[in-house]
Structures are given as structure tokens and as C-alpha cells.
Amino acid sequence: MDALDRAKEIFTELIMENTEHRNAVLLYVATKDRQLAIYADTGIHEIVGQQFWEDEVNKILLQFDKANYANGISKCVTEIGEALQLNFPYHAGDDKNELPDEIIFGN
């Protein structure tokens, strides 16, 4: 299965589209199949655009090519977080964490 299709499938299974601002992002890494994809909901995707996601995938792949897996994932998550923080800033008092923060490991 194509990595982006699988990421979209997981995104839907986890009901990640149910955020108020439609700004959820899924970083999918399939180590066994050596694939990765970033799937973002419409709210954040429409703001940052397709090129942002393509650039993030390319950056992480450069790190993976050097066997810098943790660094690649960390930088990617940080940059996505910065884009989310810029475009969906925290508002004390009425913000809540709508999705779990845990890493999900599959088969």
C-alpha cells in the first residue's frame, strides 16, 4: 500500500479529523517497508500548502539516508509543531488537547 494512502487510512481510523480547526497532522513511518508520509487535515494543509509537506518529507528522508532516524523525526515534529503554533496559537482558558500525544506503534 502507498504510504500516503496508509497514513490517510490511519488518520481516519483514529478519527483525527474531529478537531475543531481541522489541524491534526499524522507522521507515518513504516520502518519495515521503509516508507513514510505526512498526512494533514484541511485546516493546516490549506494554510501551509503542499510544498511545506513535501519539504518536510524531503528533510526527514535526508536524515534517514544518514541513519539519523531519531533526529529526522524530531526535527520534522518540531517544524510541524512550529507551523501549528504560528497558525493556531494557544489560547489560555479555552484551548484543550483534542488528540492524544502518544506514539502509536502498529504491526
Task: Report the Cα 71 to chain-centroid distance in Å.
Answer: 15
Measured CA to CA, the distance from residue 58 to residue 54 in angstroms comes to: 6
Q: Is the pLDDT of residue 7 over 80?
A: yes
Tell me the domain boundaries of the chain: 3-87
pLDDT digits (tens, 9 = 90+) for 25-82: 999 999 888 899 999 999 999 999 999 999 999 999 999 999 999 999 999 999 999 9
Residue at grid coordinates 500525544: 101
Measured CA to CA, the distance from residue 59 to residue 72 in angstroms comes to: 7
What's the CATH number for 3-87?
3.10.310.50
- Give the per-residue pLDDT at 96: 87
Q: Supply the Cα-derived Rg of the chain in whole angstroms.
A: 14
pLDDT digits (tens, 9 = 90+) for 85-98: 999 998 888 888 89
Measured CA to CA, the distance from residue 34 to residue 85 in angstroms comes to: 30
**Positive or negative torsion for Cα 49, 52, 58, 64:** negative
Task: Report the Cα 15 to chain-centroid distance in Å.
Answer: 14
